[in-house]
Amino acid sequence: MTLRLGLLALACAGLAACGGSAGVRTGGGSQAFGLGEDGYAEATPLSVRSNDVLMRAIGLVGTPYRYGGNSPEGGFDCSGLVGFVFRDAAGLSLPRSTRELIDIQAPTIARDALMPGDLVYFNPTGGRVSHIGIYVGEGRFVHAPSRGGTVRLDALGSEYWSRHFVSAKRVLQ
Provide the annotated active-site residues.
78, 131, 143
Q: Which phi and psi angles does 75 have, rounded to 5°? A: 95, 175
- Largest Cα separation within the chain, whole Å, is 74
Question: Residue 108, SS3?
Answer: strand
Closest CA to 139 of 115, 160, 110: 115
Q: What is the dihedral of CA 71, 63, 107, 136, to 10 degrees?
A: 140
